[in-house]
Amino acid sequence: MSIAPVAPPADSQLPAIRRDIAPLLLVPLLMLAMLPLVGNLATWLTLSVAGLAMGMMIFIMASGLTLVFGLMNVINFGHGAFIAAGAFSATLVLLPLRGWLEMDSLTLNLGVLALAIVVAMLVTGLLGWAFERLLIQPVYGQHLKQILVTMGGMIVAEQLIHVVWGAETIAVPLPTALRGAFLLGDAAIDKYRLVAVAIGMVVFVAMYLILNRTKIGLLVRAGVEHGEMVEALGYRIRRLFVMVFAAGASLAGLGGVMWGLYKETLTAAMGGEIMVMLFIVIIIGGLGSVGGCFIGALLIALVANYAGFLAPNVALVSSIVLMVSVLLWRPAGLYATGRG
C-alpha cells in the first residue's frame, strides 16, 4: 500500500539528508585495492567472483539470523540446524531425480534445482515455526536461556538428521548445466558461482523491496526499533515474530541448499560449522541490519579469498581481523539499527 496525500516541497528547500554511503564503498574499494596486490587481472577476477559468490551464500544464510535478532532480540544459536535441514531436505528431490540433474538439459537441471529449493524452504519454514513455538517462545527476553535452548535444539536437530538420513556424509550432484566454468580471457568463472551470485542478488533485492515497500516490511522495521509501540498501534507482534522466524529459517534452508551444492557433500554438522562465521557477519553488519549483513557477508568472503591467495597463514584469522577492524571504526557495526 502507498499514500501520497501531501505534495512535499521541492528538495532544494530542505536540509540535505546525510546518507551513510561509506560502508557501501567498502566492497568495491577492497576489490580495487587487491588488484595490484594480486598482480594478475585473471587471477583477481577469479578470486573476486568466487568471493562474491561465497559472500552471497553466506548472506542468504545470515540474513534470517540478523532479522531474527533485530526484530525479536533472540540469539539463535540453533540457526545452523535450519541450514543443515534445508540441505538434507533438498536431497528428497535431488537424489531421486539425479537422472534429470545429470542430463544435458538446462531446463530440467534448473527445474529440479528449483523444486529442491522450494521443498527445502518449505520444510525449514515449518521447522522454524515449530522451533519458535516450542523452544523460543518460553525464553523471550532471557538471553542466557536462549543460548542454551537454541544450542540444545541444534544438537537435537543434528541427531535427528543422523536418524533420518544416517550418519554418513551424503554426496549431492551439482546439475550438469552448472558444472564447469566460463572463460573470460584467462579468468575462469564457475557457472555455479554465477548462479549463487544471481540468487543472492534476488534474495537481497526481494528482502529490500519487502522491507521498504510493503506494510509487513514497515512493521518488521518498526518492530526492530520499538516492538512495544507496534503493539500499541494495534498489531500483534507475536504473529510477526513467528512469521519472521519462519522466514529466517526458510532463508537458512535456501542457503543450506546453495552451500551444500557448492561443497557437493552434506553433513549434519554443516550448519553448526558455519555459525561462527554467520555471527561475525551479522556483528560486522550491525545486529538487525539486512543491508549491513549483505555488505558484511561480501567483505568476509572476499577478504578470506584474497587472504587465502596472498597470505594463506593469515586466512585463518582474516574474519576476526576484519571484525575487529570494523568494530574499531564503528563499534555497533556498519549499520547500527535503532535497537542500538
- Helices 215-232 + 191-213 axis angle, to 10: 50
β 170-171/181-184 pair status: unpaired
Sign, CA torsion 55/57/196/158:
positive
Q: Is 10 in the site for other proteins (CB under 8 A)?
A: no
- Whichever of 137 and 176 has its CB closer to other proteins, that residue is 137
**Closest distance to other proteins from the beta carbon of 144 (Å):** 18
From 12-20, 22-30, 61-69, 108-116, span contacting other proteins (CB under 8 A): 12-20
* Cβ count near 29 (within 10 Å): 11
* CB nearer to other proteins: pick between 140 and 235: 235
User: In this structure, are residues 71 and 223 in contact, taking their beta carbons and an 8 Å threshold?
Assistant: yes
Q: Side-chain half-sphere of 276: how many Cα atoms within 13 Å? A: 6
Among 5, 36, 141, 185, binds other proteins (CB under 8 A): 5
Q: Which is nearer to other proteins, 8 or 185 (CB)?
A: 8
Which amino acid is present at 32?
L
Task: Return the number of the residue (14 or 328) whose C-beta is nearest other proteins.
Answer: 14
Other C-beta atoms closer than 10 Å to the C-beta of 185 total 8
For other proteins, which residue of 39, 152, 166, 338 counts as binding (CB under 8 A)? 338
Binding positions for other proteins, 184-243, rule CB under 8 A? 215, 218-219, 221-222, 224-226, 228-237
What is the nearest approach in angstroms of other proteins to the Cβ of residue 295?
A: 17
What number of chain residues touch other proteins (CB under 8 A)?
31
| In the complex, minimum distance from the CB of residue 218 to other proteins, in angstroms, rounded to a whole number | 5
Determine whether 48 is exposed, middle or buried from the number of CB atoms within 10 Å of its CB (0-12, 13-18, 19+). Answer: buried
* Residue 45 Cβ vs other proteins, minimum distance, rounded to whole Å: 37
**Which position has the grid cell 564457475?**
190
- List beta partners, residue 170: 266
- Could you tell me the smallest distance in angstroms from the CB atom of residue 50 to other proteins? 34
Contacting other proteins within 87-116 (CB under 8 A): none
Q: Phi/psi zone of residue 180: left (φ > 0), alpha (ψ -120 to 50 degrees), beta?
A: left
Which of 8, 36, 99, 141: binder of other proteins (CB under 8 A)? 8
Contacts of 315-324 with C-beta under 8 Å, sequence gap 24+, read 319/277, 319/280, 320/280, 322/280, 322/284, 323/280, 323/283, 323/284
- Shortest gap between Cβ of 299 and other proteins (angstroms)? 22
Stretch that binds other proteins, among 14-22, 33-41, 175-183, 243-251 (CB under 8 A): 14-22
- Pick from 6, 21, 144, 328 the residue near other proteins by CB under 8 A: 6
Question: Which residue type sits at 16?
Answer: A
Closer to other proteins by Cβ: residue 208 or 235: 235
Buried b (16+ CB within 10 A) or exposed e, 285-309: bbbbbbbbbbbbbbbbbbbbbbbbb
Which 16-45 residues touch other proteins, going by CB under 8 A? 17-18
Q: Which residues bind other proteins (CB under 8 A)?
A: 1-3, 5-6, 8-9, 13-14, 17-18, 215, 218-219, 221-222, 224-226, 228-237, 337-338
